[in-house]
Amino acid sequence: QQQVKQSPQSLIVQKGGISIINCAYENTAFDYFPWYQQFPGKGPALLIAIRPDVSEKKEGRFTISFNKSAKQFSLHIMDSQPGDSATYFCAASNNFNKFYFGSGTKLNVKP
C-alpha cells in the first residue's frame, strides 16, 4: 500500500506558467513533508520542505501548500522555466526515521 500518493504522473506547462503537483497521505503520524527535484542521471535533491504546524512555505518561485485536515500537500512552481524540467517527488516522514516517497511527476516546461 502506497503511503504517499502523487499526481499527476506527468505535466506540461508553458514557460511563465504555474506548475502544480499534488500529494496525499493517510498516516497522521507523518510530521515532515519534503519535495525533491531530480534531473536525469542524478540523485534527487532536496528542494523545499514543510512541517504540519504551518499551512504554507515559500522559497523563491517554489511554494508548498499544506492542508492538514485533508491530509494533502502540494508544490507550486511560479513562473515556470525550461530549466525546471525535471522529475519531482513528494515525500513524508515520521520522526525522520523512514521516508516514504510519491511515485513522481515528470514536468516539462515548454519554451
Which residues bind to another protein, rule: CB under 8 A?
Answer: 6, 9, 32, 34, 36, 41-46, 49, 89, 91, 95-104
Q: Report how far residue 92's alpha carbon sits from residue 98's, in angstroms, rounded to the nearest whole number.
A: 8
CB of 81 or CB of 108, closer to another protein = 108
| Residue closer to another protein (CB basis): 11 or 99 | 99
**Measuring CA to CA, how many Å separate 69 from each of 27, 60, 91?**
12, 26, 18
CB of 47 to another protein, least distance (A): 11
Q: How far is the CB of 45 from another protein (least distance, A)?
A: 7
Cell of 79: 513562473
Q: What are phi and psi of 78, to 5 degrees?
A: -85, 155
Cβ at position 23, least distance to another protein in Å: 11
Measured from the CB atom, the residue of 36 and 77 that comes closer to another protein is: 36
Based on C-alpha coordinates, what's the Rg of the chain? Answer: 13
